[in-house]
Amino acid sequence: MPVNPEPRYDLETPEDLDYLGAFAGATDADREAWGAARTYGREILPRMNEAWQKAEYPLDLVAKMGEADLLTDGLDIPGHRKLSPLGAGLVNMEISRWDGSMATALAVQGGLALRSIALFGSEEQKQRYVEDLVTGRVCGAFALTEPEHGSDSVSLETSAVRDGDEYVITGEKKWIGNGAAGGITVVWARDEDGNVRGFIVPQDTPGYEAEVITGKGALRAIDQARISLNGVRVPASNLLPGVARFKEVSAVLVETRVGVGWSALGHAVAVFEAALAYSRQRVQFGKPLAKFQMVQERLVEMLSDITDMQLMSAQIARLQTEGILRDQQASLFKVHNTVRARRVAATARDMLGGNGILLENHVMRHVADIEGIHTYEGTESIQRLIVGRDITGQSAFA
């Protein structure tokens, strides 16, 4: 007797639920960029589950992001799409809705590497590298985190010693996205005076050794590397002239922290919409799951978290637009959205039952990837301590 095949569920169609109109103020330009990110996301989705499962980094899709002019991350790059803070956030959210690895590539390429050179580079450095980075023709990395210094990155030990017309860089870095992609790396090190300096290091420079970190359970479709800098020599002209203190580096990190908050929203939207669609299509005990009171209650709880995240995201964008966003507010945003994204993802995975662990249903990948963004750009504990110090006037840092 033939066995009826299990139905396939359409869990990919966006619902665009903005229950309290958090994004009602988005301009036509914002929505155009958002639409371009959605088109990109739809095109890459068929490849992402396999790339994620095999831990393969599809670099051509990073270049495709550049071709769609989605790598500017709110920077004003001549000849390219200029996004408002809200528009940049919506792009980040939308790409994350389809895949976290490519959203991380956006954060590394545009948010970190491109931003460092655009803000702190010389005119010659900008002319040489900015266009290649914003179009995705060259991969860019940002090497700050070290094996022994993650959350306390201000304590970095990598050194840069002046030797005539060159600097000699020695040290190790870890968790560096694009660090082994064959492009350039913005390496952060301390000079002889203890100042934090940035250097553009081509990845084919002698002494630069990068090993892709394997065995990851999250963000598996982007490579992160452990880098050894063994007396790497770069011309003094590769020094970024616009930064000499960690405070300037923090300006880049704050922008990326905001991006993580938007990315968390995108992941949460993806899994919520999948759970909502599944509840309408999955029949149990003779009726759709959506007709069960418990299911509706859980969906509303998820919607409440997402609406909360949307409202905070829109407010953060407003503060950015007015130029009054404080670092501590970015920290609160990051921890707020990633914590809620984890909660929404756990509920969504559970609502899909056994189907929730199948990559084909586009939930489990987000569940895992949220764990990655919850940690990077500052752990939950560190972000809470930053905000706690701000509101109490007392530092709890050791």
Distance between the two ends of the chain, CA-based, in angstroms?
69
The residues annotated with a catalytic role in the active site are 377
Side-chain-side CA neighbours of 151 within 13 Å: the count stands at 14
Cβ burial 266-280 (10 Å sphere, 16+ → b, else e): bbbbbbbbbbbbbbe
CA distance 144 to 250: 11
CA-wise closest residue to 169 among 153, 139, 146: 146
CA distance 105 to 333: 21
The letter for the amino acid at 271 is V
Angle subtended at Cα 336 by Cα 330 and Cα 340, rounded to the nearest 5 degrees: 150
CA distance 121 to 33: 27
CA-wise closest residue to 208 among 237, 235, 188, 179: 179
